[in-house]
Structure 1
Amino acid sequence: MSLVVSLRIPDGIVIAADSLATTQMQFFGKTNIPATCPECRKDIELRDVQMPPVNTPASTFSYAQKLFSFHERFGIGSYGMGIINARTIYYHVKLLEKKLREDGSKVDRVSDAAESVRDYFQSQLREQMPDLDGAPDDFYPLGLQVVGYNDDEAKTMQVQIGKEPKIEPQTGLGCTVGGDLLVVNKLWTIEKEFPQRAVNYGAFSLQDAIDYATFLIDTTADSQRFTRLIPTVGGEVDIALITSLKPFTWIRCKELVKVLEKVNTADALQR
């Protein structure tokens, strides 16, 4: 599932994502159920009744890449499906980036980036799931946050890929989250009940935004450690920064990303 967090604060945009990938297996059990015959009222036994599937983790990986640069100016964080058509989301994003450059397509605005991401991944999902039209209307197995600046305005575009793809723009100071939201929503419920505990995004420095994004992801991951649920958030936290004056810049990323992206993290921003 994952957790992606983007914060729009006075000095820029901070976007962060976890690194955990979990594969699941479904077990379909059968059982015998005692019942009463509706006609003769005698006790009977229903044999080999199919039970609801039980999900169990088959394996977990702690180095999935869910945060990407896009055309140097934008950032993308993904949650939900980690692989489509036998390729990771990271690989797909880089293929899309290459294709747009070769085609000479302009990606000047955040909305341009979000629309290209939506169209590309929607076609990929339909290729993998030919029966997608039969899915529920609210079926969104993949989500992506596309962040960047338009005319000095910070924007987060929440892109939902599914039966009916959609783009939800978020502007102004604030925090947008995608993925496993249970713990974050509980924290924010406290803020609603006790307004004096509300987060003041307007007073955040860049370091505050980095720390808050890390806090939300780490708290979600730590809470799952003590439950019987399949873990959905964990691993290293990747963080990047975008401002109106500076394009996508890595603040913290896995060592392999430094090799693939040929970048150095901005260590000066870390305490």
Structure 2
Amino acid sequence: MPVQTSVQLFTVREALEADLESTLAELAARGFTAAEPYDFVRRAEPLAAALRANGIAAPTGHAFLASTSFVNPDGSGTTLPVPSPDVVFDAADVLGMTTVIDPYTAPERWTTREQIEETARLLNAAAEIGAARGIRVGYHNHAHELEATFDGVTGLELLASLLDPRVVLEVDLYWVARAGLDSPALLERLGDRVIAVHVKDGTLDPEAVAAYPPADQVPAGQGVVPLAEALAAASALEVAIVEFDHYDGDLFGALEQSLAYLDAQVAGR
């Protein structure tokens, strides 16, 4: 089955919050036919209607499944409780979403094996609920899951070894590079568990990456992240998703450039 290309809607979060309809129309005009929603439970119905109106599917989405409260994009915690898995999956059904991916767990939860075991337990429990509804559960990495090591094994790989076979992974290629790892080798080790990747490039300039959000990100193929090699190593890839955490220039133009690069890389797969 061909790899589906998509865009993480967090990339256009400011435009999306200001005008849902016109933002999705602009993404469609730039060539996107699929998107990965974030924080979709609170707006499932209007989001689904706007996606349909613009011919955009939502095969995957981000929602917290292994945390009890929302985590901000900068990693800081909140006291705002997250919806239950059943409520998340209800919203996913409205959107026609078949894979719900946990986007983030706090770095302090990756300091011991026992903490990772607890994250695996929560994801496995959500996967059990999701399986009865035809929805897969996944996990998305940042750098800290890879910077943590246990007897020479990264925290992400330890997590993968503890997960129910039904739980999949979405590997963020930029954050793998930020953690200093060889992403093609990591993807080969993770094997068929990886069904999605975030295709995100950057210069990895030390001063720029020290900022939050990172200030080094560039259109896919224009930085130093080994995207082509990583995509080739992802043997079970189903969805490849363009994303920027931050971009100072013409964001929609950068998205269009990234999509053209990505479409060329996955053509014929």
TM-score normalised according to structure 1 size: 0.30
Structure of greater Rg:
1
Relative contact order (alpha carbons < 8 A, sep ≥ 6): 1 or 2 greater? Answer: 1
Higher strand fraction (1 or 2): 1
TM-score normalised according to structure 2 size: 0.30
